[in-house]
Structure 1
Amino acid sequence: MQLKRVVVTGLGALTPIGNNIEEYWDALVNGKSGSAPITYYDTEKFKVKFACELKNYKTEDHFDRKEGRKLDRFAQYALVSSDEAIRDSKLDLEKIDKFRVGVIWGAGIGGLETFQNEVMNFANGDGTPRFNPFFIPKMIADIAPGNISIKHGFMGPNYTTVSACASSANAMIDALNYIRLGHCDVIVTGGSEAAVTIAGMGGFGAMHALSTRNDSPETASRPFDATRDGFVLGEGAGALVLEEYEHAVARGAKIYAEVAGGGMSSDAYHMTAPHPEGIGVVRVMENCLRDAGLSIEDVDAINTHGTSTPLGDVAELKAITQVFGEHAKDININSTKSMTGHLLGAAGAIEAIASILAMENGMVPPTINHTTVDENIDPSLNLTLNKAQKRDVKVAMSNTFGFGGHNACVVFKKID
């Protein structure tokens, strides 16, 4: 069976450093940090008092009062970013076959704030279970793609992938496969997350997973730096319109890049810690390259998972060196989480978008906040430190890993 080619024809972003694609890219290349003191709740009793919140986002700017009350923030973010991507794709929604248009979306947690608020309201009440009738439909992770499909009438495959921080990368891989097997012409894919909440910050804080640099939040996310002490929690969404190549060409669509392939693997090691030798990460990149039919020498740039944790960053770079050998020194390696923080289930989507924009603009965004060399990291690797670097990127890889040992990798290439 001849697999169909799959391309990216639309992009949308809602991130801590920009509320649309243009703002997001401008902030990326200029090394802007999205980390700042938390404004959503009183942090007095919390050890960690900062995160990467969205800036200048108001529900009422996008939804009327009635609609907004029915949507958790993670679902709002999904709708806003997917609307931008669909507009960007210039799809004629009156002419396309909506039975061949799907939505496959990633969310690691879903409506955490909704769950938190309902349970707290019950606990503070008189014991009578007076729950909001929208409690369940606001909370469930699959409601984001459901709402996108309902809004636009898309009647193809519709579901959510849940693999912690790999969720939206898994969603993109599923979307890729549905299209190249001929089941769909178009799929809106990506991911969203809104875990900057009392429960989210409290839970990750209890795991000692978060940076505690309250005195300097803007520099707290520092992947590959010897003084890194954990990740900075972020929120937002990224959306991509994936389309069968001939379908896109026939309607004269702008094509950003080809989705060359995707890979998956499992560490099968620990609930939260990566395998110290990066065995699962080695395999996921090898699987991705094999699926794409590319060699190691083809890869120009890798947007790493790079969360700014002591163990994870080293393990991933060891794996890259093992897979790419001497060629690893010629690759622009970066971590855009240094700017956006960690968007959990949305991370794969916004980082894939960063990779695609790097290809389109001939510029690799930096890994910011690096001041101290880590002796455990190979100094010959180009980690694109502190300043964007010009480069003709023909092939870009994006790595995303999740608690539970889930590994996902997607690779994009310039269209031939």
Structure 2
Amino acid sequence: MKKFSSQPARGMRDFLPSEVELRDWMTSQILESYQSFGFQRIETPSVERLELLTGGDGGENSKMIFKIMKRREKLPELSASTKEDDLADLGLRFDLTVPLVRYYAQNRAQLPQPMKSIQMGPVWRAERPQKGRFRQFLQCDIDIIGEASILAEAQLLLAAGKALTRLGFDELTFRINDRRLLVALAEEAGFSSEEQSSLFIILDKLDKLGIDGIKKEFKEKGFPINRVEQFLSSIEESQQAPIEKVNAPDRLSEEVIPNLNLLQKVVKAQLGDQVQVVFDPTLVRGMGYYTGPIFEIESSGLSSSIAGGGRYDEMVGKYLKESVPACGISIGFERIWTILSEKSQQQKEHDLPNKLVLLYPSTIKSEDYLTLFEKVKEYQDQGYQVNLRSQRKNLSKQLKQLKEEGFLFFVRFKEWEIRKNESTPH
């Protein structure tokens, strides 16, 4: 008999019950925070047409699509001239934004205007597996489609800030910028629209590579050093100035800078002293579809952002005959889960105090089942999550293991007294 490996596919993960429990708690906190600002949950399919996914809106991520082969009857005869696209017509979504735009175009007549949506679901990217990066992961997005003013960005940032606070993150820093400002500074330095995508991708690595590192990449890319120096000098000047005094090109001064300034004031006023809202002209965001304000949220002590997003006004117009403004933000669910899982025991004790285990004897008689489940319902009515377990001979060891699983209370069959699990976990 052939022996099969019990390992999941490369880049994929299994989750233990305690891990899923933490993930469920996180999604509930995020969902409640989003809903408190009037966002409504929707769902889109995991599979989309390949032409949609490769339509140019996904940036580098569109190169990492898991493609799905056509059904056998639709597959062409293989030959030397057969291309990859001849074999596949569908793919797994690599983010939630591209499917959202398709969803909006399809269902617009039935949706409120503006639409304020919540999406929570898995996405897939066929990238090289490495520590902290997986091929399947969960995204938690909110988007507003149909609101052109900075009110959209403000709602997104405040809702995300509330969710992160409820998850236990404080001392948040909101970094904001505008892609139009980056484009204008690049144009002033002589970079064409065709060059700007590569230019911004390299600039986005500044926090990882440092100024010397990105200059090296600019040189390797073949960009003239004089234009690079002019571009970086403009970025540095903007970075050092207060947001309201940034020296922006005239065509941007009446909208871009005032809007960023207003956004900074609104978020700061609503979220208080534990947040900073800073203008950062080096902020790029990797997706190619951003057209206006962009933002990331960081937490003190962490090396990278835990949320990010921006405005993408041109995407919806590809499906409709008119332009429709759109803006969104995504919380880095997997990164946050990794951080919180390291504190999982404290999290259980703090946030899941109602887990109770009812211990019954291994020799329980069938005529006692009715009483057993009457007690289960009684404890559930008191607000406990009740789990039935057969009592082992070594009760002390069993209680320690149950404490590790988050069961802070227990009841023994026929004693019926709720006791606190005082055992010390291993």
Q: TM-score range by the shorter chain?
A: under 0.3
Structure in which a larger fraction of residues adopt helix: 2
* TM-score using structure 2 length: 0.27
Q: Over alpha carbons, which structure has the higher Rg?
A: 2
* TM-score using structure 1 length: 0.28
Structure with more contact order per residue of length (Cα contacts < 8 Å, sep ≥ 6): 1
